[in-house]
Amino acid sequence: MYEITVEPRFGDIDGLRHINNTVVAIWFEQARNPFFKMFTPNLSTKHEDWKLIMAHTDFDFVSQMELGKNVQIRSYVSKIGNKSFTLYHEAWQDGVLCVKGKAVVVHFDFIEQKSVPIPEDIRNQLMEHYIELDKN
């Protein structure tokens, strides 16, 4: 698991003074950086260097978040396929799970414009962050 702490900004709240639901996608994207670095250590976004493409994201909003309290973003690997993997994210505030979500990321060759197998050494790194999710 990787964990980051986010301090919500005033601009992150909506008219009801809750953290706006669009902000979570940005926080979860930030939390994916350690996984991105497994494939591109310097995070170079040149087509010949960058090796990942997003295929799917989803979020479940479980509880409200508010300004003035830090949010812990926890990131795990919940599935590893031949050419893709799924990340599972959670956002916690004051010890309460507020948002959970998944992102499917594909190992991708931008020059050839096709998905490619995940190398074994990176697969092993991903496995270090694996979590078994309840199938229900």
pLDDT digits (tens, 9 = 90+) for 67-76: 999 999 999 9
Alpha carbons 91 and 93: distance in angstroms, whole number: 7
Alpha carbons 97 and 93: distance in angstroms, whole number: 7
Total residues belonging to the chain: 136
Encode pLDDT of 14-44 as tens digits: 888 899 999 999 999 999 999 999 999 999 9
Return the CATH superfamily for domain 2-127. Hotdog Thioesterase (3.10.129.10)
Q: In the chain, what's the furthest Cα-to-Cα distance?
A: 47
pTM summary value? 0.93
Taking Cα atoms as reference points, which of 82, 89, 79, 2 lies closest to residue 38?
2
Burial class (CB in 10 A: 0-12, 13-18, 19+), 82: exposed
